[in-house]
Structure 1
Amino acid sequence: MILGIGSDLANIDRIAGVLARHGDRFRNRVFTPTEQAKAGSRADVAGTYAKRWAAKEACSKALGTGLRMGISWKDMAVTNLPTGQPVMHLTGWAADRLAQMTPAGHEAIVHVTLTDDHPWAQAFVVIEARALP
């Protein structure tokens, strides 16, 4: 069963401007060290951050909260499998919220997909509850 769906569209040029103005202050407030390392290794640094920004926004919407109620940017983090597939990791308040919305006898799975076509970065998040065996 679907517990939540979220989407977000981020402007890559806007994120590039925020990075230029606020640099490490912005990076350290919003992104985990792993996300920062990923962005730093890519040719399109701003695009990489914009996709992850959009993923965090989409995830907060799928959780039914938006970015309020105690959720932190770093409570939602995107990494990639060796195949390149993005994976959303939830910690802190986001993980607590996910546990609250997951029915008994089920496990929650957070699906995320990212794409970009300059100047836009987009993310979709679907939270699924699967019955435990």
Structure 2
Amino acid sequence: MILGIGSDLANIERIARVLDRHGDRFRNRVFTKTEQRKAERRMDVAGTYAKRWAAKEACSKALGTGLRMGIAWKDMAVSNLPTGQPVMAVTGWAADRLASMTPPGYDSVIHVTLTDDHPWAQAFVVIEARPLGVPGGTLAT
């Protein structure tokens, strides 16, 4: 069963300007150390950050809150499986919100997809509830 869907479109050039203007203050407020390491190793640093920004926005929408009600940027973190597939992990208030949305007898799974075509970065997030015991439970930590 689908618990939430979110999407977001971010302008890569806007994120590049924010990075130039605010640097580490912006990086450290919004992105986890793992996300920062990933972005800083890439040729398209701003594009990588923009996709992760869009993913966090999309996740907050799928959680039904947007970026309000106590959710913090770093409560949502994008990483990649060895195959390159992006995954979203939630902690803190985002994890609490996800738990409250998940019906008894179910696990939740956050699906995320990212894409970019300069100057745009886009993310879609779908939160699915699966009956307990079905592989692929939540990545909440």
TM-score by length of 2: 0.94
Aligned to 2:63: 63
SS across alignment from 1:43: coil
- Distance across 2 between alignment mates of 1:22 and 1:60: 23
1:33-57, CA deviations, whole angstroms, 9 ceiling, x for partnerless residues? Answer: 0000000000000000000000000
Give the whole-Å Cα distance in 2 for the aligned partners of 1:4 and 1:125.
8
Separation of aligned partners in 2, 1:19 and 1:107:
37
Equivalent residue for 1:44?
Answer: 44
Task: Report the CA distance between 1:132 and its aligned residue.
Answer: 1.2
Secondary structure of the equivalent of 2:122? strand
Residue equivalent to 1:24: 24
Aligned letter for 1:58? A
Give the gaps of 5 or more residues in structure 2: 134-141
Q: Alignment length, in residue pairs?
A: 133
Secondary structure of 1:13's match? helix
Distance 2:121 2:69 in 1: 26
Aligned identity (percent) is: 84
- Residue 73 of structure 1 deviates from its aligned partner by 0.1
Matches within 5 A, 1:81-92: 81-92=81-92
What is the Cα deviation at residue 74 of structure 1? 0.1
Q: Which residue of 1 aligns with 2:107?
A: 107
The reply to whether residue 3 of structure 1 matches residue 3 of structure 2 is yes
Q: In the alignment, does 2:131 pair up with 1:131?
A: yes
When the two structures are superposed, what TM-score results if normalisation uses the length of structure 1?
0.99
Give 4+ residue runs of structure 1 displaced > 2 Å after superposition: none
Q: Any gaps of 5 or more consecutive residues in structure 1?
A: none
